């Protein structure tokens, strides 16, 4: 099955916005067992959109477009595709009612211009928009005049705003694809999330032990990001589930200390979940990460149940006044030292009464390094009822990467502590 | 001049990474006065890359590819393009020396496999890689067998990693384009960064006052993001600079209170710059933004010169112990209240001795709202030697958008205060 994705929008080609649709839609399809073979972005406007859709329909079984379904003068996708397919645009009363309900729910009058969104190419299926006004559209192009052999293609048109597109895709397009393009065999896809190990080292550890599974057809994939490597197993056929389960068990036995979650887990979401389940509390004392860890943890709904406080103690004075770090410690060891990291974590735990406190102090750069403690040096500590552990790392990266990676390392310290507690 | 961009990489089509190259390269070209007319992503592997390059060379004066120049088995762009253009690959000694220097500088042996990166299609110009090993390549395709009229095209091939691609583009491709495709007239592009006003309201305020300039050919563009609207002026010809200066002056007179910067400024970078220039210090007390503001400010190099401390006082206890918020205040007004916001800001200023303190307390959601204070309610305060100002806002958005928007609003309070001080 061949799939092509067409993103419309001049703002994409002017470089004013990131094309997040590409990654999101491609990832959804990958997890469903399909692969997108080409993605194209074209500006709003007649010629390019029609040419891109014509070319894609000439090659692909499924063509997905995003954008250009709204009410303004540069929303031309609906009209241009109807014209290309030689289909009339017909008023759809159910679509109009849905739009009217959207405005009524917000107590606002429906602008006259919005009615254009209820125009639907003849024979198209309407995908109601639960989070906006413009419906999506699905058209079976059959016979398909753009394919030499006339084989049919399915054309799905989705609205541009992500919070309209994403639920529409999950709730309406996914079932539609399951009907139109049933997988002819079982398909299982599983991702393990890891940190603290590079892609090639991970590959070294697990590729030989997994060889009997990959030789038998299982796909083994790695995806490296800053501070994380995803390990992905894909299997098909009647033994798919058993194969993936075996691959996971082997990987956990070979590299379990680096695994913190599955599928879309993040370290912060896993920590919030685990601490919530135990009814335990966390405090943070950040110097060089500057609130990055607190920000990530508080991005998770429900974080208030576990996070008591975070202290961004950039200045030495703040380390002393807020966390009780001793002047003597700062003078004799320096702000970036094992002793300071220890006192910061212990101070944060003492001040808040948290079960666990994490601290970080280091040199993010670009300035501030010395021979003894070069840029990238960082001390991180975990304080708990069992005592305090301090680790030294060297993270030589640009400022934002440094913060991200350091956060991964110190959050992983806590994750391992929680796992050890669970297994003890 | 027609430009097409081809991004290679199977990870793009599997949805494992965001295509940040598209936005970045398109934006650079836009700022240089060029517009990309099409962008395509194709997987690693023979057929698709060659087909995409052939099609692009058939339409465009400039074709840029990204990725596939590295040493591993899926880095095929160099070979496939040489094959397509029927050019031999020749060993380039200078490129090899550059690769050898890269490894020597890191005290690591050069892997044998890396030598493939020193192979260059006959007649290609080598763009040395200052931040990695694989050089970029530029090929003048002249005559161009893929264009009906044989007109030449320039093909530029860039390495995939952003920290290699970006400096190479800025330092080597930009001058190359200036020579190859000189603009036949002056070109001035200027962006004003604004916050606190929607795109359509901004348009309402300035489009009529700017009409004489847009009628005379100046482009006026708006780009809306979460909590920000960019206003962009583009003019060409001998009066370009004067036209853009006039447009800026008019916009400042009509909507100046919303403008915080220019070009690539962010509110946090502007605050760090302004406070550094005055030798003044800042403290933060964040509840519902959870460290988001501290994180953004500490992303700016040099932030340690102005940020004394940030307090993420999620729990009431932390508000009292760390910031001295009174129990009485929390009991009678609640944690989300004008009084609490005021005491948080004043407490943060008192504890740290900062010139300015910002505080935020609110309900990010999804839970926690009441009739009186629905989800999205937020109080924010600015404390300084002149006293304390508190503002109430209602930001009904998902959690991360709420944090971003709230941060914009409270940082803008400080920016306006600094501007008022400057003009006083």
> Using a CB-CB distance cutoff of 8 angstroms, which residues of chain B are in contact with residue A37?
13, 42-43, 48
The CA distance from B231 to the nearest CA of chain A, in Å, is 12
Mean pLDDT of chain B: 93
**A308–B307 C-beta distance less than 8 A:** no
Residue B18 CA to residue A164 CA, distance in Å, equals 20
**A41–B39 C-beta distance less than 8 A:** yes
**A290–B299 C-beta distance less than 8 A:** yes
The answer to whether residues A365 and A289 touch, using CB atoms and an 8 Å cutoff, is: no
The answer to whether residues A180 and A153 touch, using CB atoms and an 8 Å cutoff, is: no
> Using a CB-CB distance cutoff of 8 angstroms, which residues of chain B are in contact with residue A11?
223
Residue B394 CA to residue A153 CA, distance in Å, equals 46
pLDDT in tens, B58-98: 999 999 999 999 877 778 899 999 999 999 999 999 999 99
| Chain A contact probe: residue of B15, B73, B169 with most A CBs at under 10 A | B15
**B37–A48 C-beta distance less than 8 A:** yes
Of A291, A315, A368, which is closest to B295 when you measure between CB atoms? A291
Cα Rg of chain B, angstroms: 27
The reported pLDDT for the residue numbered A423 is 62
The reported pLDDT for the residue numbered B417 is 96
**A322–B351 C-beta distance less than 8 A:** yes
The CA distance from B48 to the nearest CA of chain A, in Å, is 8
**B27–A315 C-beta distance less than 8 A:** no
The pLDDT of residue A71 is above 90:
no
Of B27, B315, B365, which is closest to A308 when you measure between CB atoms? B315
Percent above pLDDT 70 for chain A: 99
Residue range B274-290: mean pLDDT, rounded = 97
The reported pLDDT for the residue numbered B264 is 85
The answer to whether residues A42 and A134 touch, using CB atoms and an 8 Å cutoff, is: no
Residue A28 CA to residue A162 CA, distance in Å, equals 14
Q: How confident is the model at residue B103 (pLDDT cuts 50, 70, 90)?
A: confident
The CA distance from B424 to the nearest CA of chain A, in Å, is 30
Mean pLDDT of chain A: 93
> Using a CB-CB distance cutoff of 8 angstroms, which residues of chain B are in contact with residue A303?
290, 314
Percent above pLDDT 90 for chain A: 75
> Using a CB-CB distance cutoff of 8 angstroms, which residues of chain A are in contact with residue B295?
290-292, 294-295, 403
Residue B16 CA to residue B173 CA, distance in Å, equals 28
Residue B134 CA to residue B398 CA, distance in Å, equals 42
Q: Could you tell me the sign of the dihedral formed by the alpha carbons of A91, A97, A98, A104, in that order?
A: positive
Give the residue, B161 or B409, on which the prediction is more confident: B409
Assembly ipTM: 0.84
pLDDT in tens, A20-54: 999 999 999 998 889 999 999 999 877 899 999 99
Of B28, B37, B299, which is closest to A400 when you measure between CB atoms? B299
> Using a CB-CB distance cutoff of 8 angstroms, which residues of chain A are in contact with residue B41?
22, 38-40
**A314–B311 C-beta distance less than 8 A:** no
The reported pLDDT for the residue numbered A424 is 56
Residue B347 CA to residue B331 CA, distance in Å, equals 18
**A37–B22 C-beta distance less than 8 A:** no
**A299–B403 C-beta distance less than 8 A:** yes
Residue B52 CA to residue B13 CA, distance in Å, equals 15
Q: Which residue of B has its CA nearest to A44?
A: B37
The pLDDT of residue A351 is above 80:
yes
Of A30, A52, A292, which is closest to B15 when you measure between CB atoms? A30
The pLDDT of residue B44 is above 90:
no
The reported pLDDT for the residue numbered B423 is 62
Give the residue, B116 or B397, on which the prediction is more confident: B116
The reported pLDDT for the residue numbered B416 is 96
> Using a CB-CB distance cutoff of 8 angstroms, which residues of chain A are in contact with residue B39?
12-13, 40-41
Residue range B109-136: mean pLDDT, rounded = 91
**B301–A290 C-beta distance less than 8 A:** no
Calculate ∠ Cα A55-A57-A58, nearest 5°: 60
The pLDDT of residue B283 is above 90:
yes
Q: Which of A65-69, B147-151, B160-164, B313-317 has the lowest mean pLDDT?
A: B160-164
**A16–B22 C-beta distance less than 8 A:** no
The pLDDT of residue B424 is above 60:
no
**B298–A312 C-beta distance less than 8 A:** yes
> Using a CB-CB distance cutoff of 8 angstroms, which residues of chain B are in contact with residue A28?
15
pLDDT in tens, A295-336: 999 999 999 999 999 999 989 999 999 999 999 999 999 999
Kindly give the pairing relationship between strand B187-194 and strand B259-262: antiparallel
Q: Which domains does chain B have, with CATH numbers?
A: 3-180 (3.40.980.10), 187-262 (3.30.70.2860), 267-423 (3.90.950.20)
> Using a CB-CB distance cutoff of 8 angstroms, which residues of chain A are in contact with residue B106?
none
> Using a CB-CB distance cutoff of 8 angstroms, which residues of chain A are in contact with residue B60?
none
Of B11, B40, B310, which is closest to A40 when you measure between CB atoms? B40
Q: How confident is the model at residue B110 (pLDDT cuts 50, 70, 90)?
A: confident
Residue range A193-206: mean pLDDT, rounded = 87
Kind and range of the H or E run holding B39: strand B36-42
Give the residue, B57 or B200, on which the prediction is more confident: B57
The CA distance from B177 to the nearest CA of chain A, in Å, is 17
Residue A287 CA to residue A279 CA, distance in Å, equals 27
The pLDDT of residue B251 is above 90:
yes
**B298–A16 C-beta distance less than 8 A:** no
**A15–B27 C-beta distance less than 8 A:** yes
The CA distance from B178 to the nearest CA of chain A, in Å, is 19
> Prior bond to A143 cis, omega within 30?
yes
The reported pLDDT for the residue numbered B178 is 93
Of B20, B289, B318, which is closest to A308 when you measure between CB atoms? B318
Beta carbons within 8 Å of A361's beta carbon, 6+ residues apart:
A287, A288, A335, A336, A337, A340, A341, A344, A378, A379, A380
Q: b/e per residue, B146-161, with b = 16+ CB within 10 A? A: bbeeeeebbbbbbbbb
Give the residue, B203 or A278, on which the prediction is more confident: A278
Residue range B29-42: mean pLDDT, rounded = 93
Residue range B155-171: mean pLDDT, rounded = 93
Of B38, B288, B364, which is closest to A40 when you measure between CB atoms? B38
pLDDT in tens, B183-201: 888 889 899 999 998 877 8
The reported pLDDT for the residue numbered B246 is 98
**B291–A303 C-beta distance less than 8 A:** no
Residue A270 CA to residue B391 CA, distance in Å, equals 35
């Amino acid at each position: 099955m061949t799939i092509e994705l067409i993103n419309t929008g001049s703002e994409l080609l002017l470089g004013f916005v990131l094309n997040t649709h590409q990654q999101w839609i491609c990832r959804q399809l990958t997890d469903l067992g399909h692969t997108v073979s080409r993605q194209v972005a074209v500006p709003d406007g007649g010629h390019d959109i029609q040419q891109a859709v014509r070319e894609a329909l000439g090659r692909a079984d499924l063509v997905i477009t995003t954008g250009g379904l709204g009410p303004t003068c540069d929303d031309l996708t609906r009209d241009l595709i109807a014209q290309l397919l030689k289909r009339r645009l017909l008023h759809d009363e159910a679509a109009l009612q849905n739009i009217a309900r959207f405005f009524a729910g917000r107590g606002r009058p429906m602008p006259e211009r919005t009615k254009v969104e209820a125009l639907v190419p003849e024979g198209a299926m309407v995908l109601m928009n639960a989070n906006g006004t413009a419906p999506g559209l699905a058209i079976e192009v059959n016979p398909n005049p753009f394919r030499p052999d006339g084989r049919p293609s399915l054309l799905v048109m989705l609205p541009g705003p992500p919070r309209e597109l994403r639920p529409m895709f999950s709730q309406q397009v996914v079932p539609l694809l399951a009907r139109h393009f049933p997988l002819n065999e079982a398909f299982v896809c599983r991702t393990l999330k890891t940190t603290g190990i590079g892609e090639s080292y991970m590959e070294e550890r697990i590729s030989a032990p997994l060889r009997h599974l990959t030789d038998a057809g299982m796909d083994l994939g790695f995806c490296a990001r800053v501070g994380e490597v995803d390990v992905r197993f894909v299997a098909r056929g009647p033994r798919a589930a058993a194969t993936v389960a075996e691959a996971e068990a082997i990987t956990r036995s070979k590299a379990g200390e680096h695994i913190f979650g599955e599928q879309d887990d993040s370290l912060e979401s896993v920590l919030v979940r685990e601490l919530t389940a135990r009814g335990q509390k966390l405090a943070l004392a950040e110097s060089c990460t500057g609130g990055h860890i607190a920000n990530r943890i508080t991005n998770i709904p429900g974080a208030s149940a576990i996070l008591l406080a975070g202290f961004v103690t950039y200045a030495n004075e703040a380390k002393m006044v807020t966390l009780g770090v001793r002047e003597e410690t700062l003078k004799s060891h320096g702000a970036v030292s094992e002793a300071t990291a220890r006192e910061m974590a212990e101070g944060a735990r003492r001040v808040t009464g948290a079960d666990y406190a994490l601290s970080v102090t280091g040199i993010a750069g670009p300035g501030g390094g010395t021979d003894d403690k070069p840029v990238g040096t960082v001390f991180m500590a975990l304080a708990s009822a069992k005592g305090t552990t301090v680790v030294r790392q060297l993270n030589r990266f640009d400022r934002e990467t440094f913060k991200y990676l350091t956060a991964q390392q110190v959050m992983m310290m806590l994750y391992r502590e929680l796992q050890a507690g669970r297994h003890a």
